Amino acid sequence: MWGLRHQRTLGAPIELTGVGYWTGRQVTVRLRPAPAGYGRVFWLRSAGRPNQRIPVKIEHRVEVPRRTSLATAGARVEMVEHLLAVLSAFRVDNCSIELDTPELPAFDGSSLPIAQALESVGTREQSLWQPALIIDRTVRVEEGDAWIEARAATEPGLYLEYQLDYGPGPIGKQQFGMWLSADTFVRQVAPARSFLLEQEAAELRRRGLGAHVTYQDVLVFGREGPLGNRLRFPDECVRHKLLDLVGDLALCGADIHGRIIAHRSGHRLNARMVERLCRSCATHRKVRAA
Ligand SMILES: [Zn+2]
């Protein structure tokens, strides 16, 4: 059946260090290859040992503003979406992700440092098949004027489109679509950075958040455009929203085949789409590769 492929893991371990947006602390994340069938699993270190386990699954998602976080009893990890987007685009299905602080490093607000590190070690094929979720009907979720529509697959692969509308101003309306692959992700989406409006940044600061975050760590838009920074793409904002969507869809735990069109959606609506897809479309599994 089309759509099935062997699972993959990292070619070699990766270690990355950076500052977290929310904790403001220096974070080291270590990604290690894992056996077939292991999945993607966060391990939080305490007392120097990786001993709190958080599997990457939609049922472990917790509702928090502006990011995707996962939790199990007693353990929680913040802002997982930019890393999960890279693992999903590179089809790294089995990976142990060790952290010494319960938050991923923010880097420059994009996925580029993670994608480049992964590109340098490559991936290797494993013995089991990766489950495939084939969209076989239209599935739609809505919240206010935001919506996401999943449309039936007519060929293998996942086509994603995002439509952004910030009304009058420097961001305005933007639309971006692509077939997801490691190559399209690295070139077209991974460099796109997180962004905020100037008034949103001021509001976060008033609440005591992100005091350490500078205009180099996140794009902050004033009336005329980004403050103290330059865009990497004229439509960088919509590309970053598509990056977030890839990261959130990784909570499916399967390769998705079909088309997904998102209009002004955020992490919460993205997660509702994942829940609906998992419920309404069959996941095709084979236990062992031929
Ligand atoms: Zn993001």
| Superfamily per CATH, domain 5-130 | lpxc deacetylase, domain 1 (3.30.230.20)
Residues carrying an active site annotation: 267
Q: How far is the CA of 218 from the centre of ligand 1 (A)?
A: 10
Residue 21, CA distances (Å) to 156, 212, 247, 286 in order: 37, 8, 17, 40
* Structural domain spans, the chain: 5-130
Which burial class, exposed, middle or buried, applies to 23 when counting CB atoms under 10 A from its CB (0-12, 13-18, 19+)? middle
- Answer whether 214's CB lies under 8 Å from 229's CB: no
pLDDT of 1 reads 58
- Answer whether 257's CB lies under 8 Å from 158's CB: yes
Q: How far is the CA of 280 from the centre of ligand 1 (A)?
A: 27
Q: How far is the CA of 77 from the centre of ligand 1 (A)?
A: 15
- Answer whether 23's CB lies under 8 Å from 210's CB: no
Calpha distance 144→111 (Å, rounded) = 29
Question: In 3-state terms, what secondary structure has residue 249?
Answer: helix
**Token representation of residue 64:** 């928090």
Give the mean pLDDT per block of 10 residues along the chain (290 residues). Answer: 85 95 87 97 82 93 89 89 98 96 92 97 96 93 97 95 94 97 98 94 82 84 92 97 97 95 97 93 62
pLDDT in tens, 182-222: 999 999 999 999 999 999 888 888 887 777 788 888 899 99
pTM of structure? 0.95
pLDDT of 107 reads 93
Order of strands across the sheet that contains 49-55: 14-19, 26-33, 95-99, 40-46, 49-55
pLDDT of 279 reads 87
| DSSP-assigned beta bridge partners for residue 28 | 17
pLDDT of 2 reads 63
Q: How far is the CA of 111 from the centre of ligand 1 (A)?
A: 9
